[in-house]
Structure 1
Amino acid sequence: MIEDIPQQPIEPGTVRVDVAWNGICGTDLHEFEDGNNFVPPAGHPHVISGESAPITLGHEFSGVVSEIGEGVNDLAVGDHVVIEPYIIHDDVDTTEANPTYQLSPDMNFIGLAGRGGGLSENIVVKRRWVHRIDKKVPLDEAALIEPLTVAYHAVRRADPKPGEWAIVGGAGPIGLLVGAVLKALGLHVVVSELSPLRRQKALDAHSADYALNPAEVDVVEEVRRLSGGEGADVAFEATSVQPVLDTLVESLAPCGRLVIVAIWNHRAEFDIERLLLKEIDIRGSIAYANDHPKTIELVESGRIDLKPFITKKIALEHLVDEGFDTLINHKETAVKVLVSPSGAGLED
């Protein structure tokens, strides 16, 4: 439903951003289909934001600064920005001294637990969460910096080294972006994916050196062959599918590192003896913490090109019939669908 709602007031220490583009996230789809995962149910307000459903969705967005609150001296009207969309208690240290602020109690996200959202014409955000980007980066591509930062954080969790071999299980949006970060950092990347469209996208978007079909290829043996018999140094699980997890464990070399990126809504099984005998490290990865600057640098330097990941641009009024429907019922055909809340830019 599209409604006219009051504009958020500008306050000291905040910035108003006119939203240019908002990417539809898998989390948004879950809220649309099932409801109340991150969005607080009606009548049960979030402990920090004080808001509950209905909520304005949207947490992957870019925009232009249009108004600056008192005390903000390092941004200017007209600056291009992206948002680190956190809702976190004010007493939590969110400086570089705290690398785990995303794990703090009651953490949630702008556009899920309130405080506006990217599917609105403009939004007021605390200065801490606003990141300036170079104007040479198109604003539509900049809207992908938030999910790219999720991927960057996951890769960072793996302690990767140039020249290592990586396998990514799944070539959905996050799997593709993980592959792009790995390639930018100088790793050899193998993607395992059933969908032929997604396998081709991984190659075309420079997210992988090799894209394997697990229904036709013994992925474990092929990874060993490609890596000179050793197996992968790092692996990333981006599907929440048990057979994919099993394949990644088998594909890893001794002392390999496995990073779980997907959100599992069910229990996974591990062959503990296999993990023990190979001394495999398992690491979780959720969201990001102080990762936006490095991610933005990868984009501004041209080491990652985000344009290939944009598959559709739509107006806000087509959010359900062209946006959600595509990503729910035709997900193999799309990576990232962008929404223009104002309708500007759709002629591009």
Structure 2
Amino acid sequence: MSAVILALETSCDETSAAVVAGGRQVLSNIISSQVEVHRKFGGVVPEVASRKHLELLNQVVAEALGAAGLGFKDLDAVAVTYGPGLVGALLVGVSAAKAIAYGLDLPLVGVNHLEGHIYANFLVDPALDFPLLCLVVSGGHTDLVLVKGHGSFQVVGRTRDDAAGEAFDKAARTLGLGYPGGPLIDRLSRQGNPAAVNLPRAYLEEGSFDFSFSGLKSALINWLHRAGRLGGDVNKADLAASFQKAVVDVLVDKTLAAARENGVTTILLAGGVAANACLRAELARRAEEECRRVIIPPPVLCTDNAAMVACAAYYRFLRGAFAPLTLNAVPDLKLGEDRYEGSFVRKKTGPTS
């Protein structure tokens, strides 16, 4: 068995641990969600999330090792998400990973959370050819990333205000649907007419691959206010479907435009919003029309999970890109940068493939 990596993911409100061999064989991927804890607040409360990670992490790690049928002695490295994310939540995972690495004399691999989302696609197809274009869509991020090689990323487009997932959450709150908004909008939209309400699409200036969804959210609120003053009936399913279609249209249009501009034939989808059924179907359909291939991870690998972190860590492991035991949480970590302090000398020699 090639390099076996234990990975931890605690960047927001999922406590996850996974064991992955050779960067592709998922031996276990345990995810403990805090959705029910935060639902009553209408969103993630950072301090509550941090405390829940403290309560759950040891148990989740034990479950991951047990499900993989392995022990600590079988590991070749320990990986952890160290940013971006909620600083308190990140610190729980980083501290645990450093303790395990130190105690077992193993290499420590620090992974960018967004890099992890991108590498979820390599769990679907490890033989992807570069260059690749990845649309990363989540509650905190909406980025178009040109992936030129392992560890080589160029952000060609990003949101200028609300991320797509954030827009879905705000729309769901406006419609009184609850939290988390993305899955609720997705589910309700299947009963509605996406052409029922004419909502705007923000394409920004010509040639831009950036995104903007704050105006769309405002348009939805204004439409509801006008409907209330006029005494009209509000069909929430139609509104949800129309809002979702407005978001998906822009995401797909800009992704395909960026693929054409950069000569990319393979498109990746990543992040929590990548589980959205409308986005998955529309991107696949439109890309096929242009003879472009689309890779989309299963929903469990779209939301925050440690298997994607282990996959990303594997390629860092092969390059010897290890973090020192002074690794700290970096809540504003940018894709493609490493913020390590100190130095690290690898002590254990493990597999190289």
| TM-score normalised by the chain length of structure 2 | 0.36
Question: If each structure's helix is expressed as a fraction of its own residues, which one has the higher value?
Answer: 2
Instruction: Flag the structure with higher strand content.
Output: 1
Larger RCO (alpha carbons 8 Å, 6+ apart) = 2
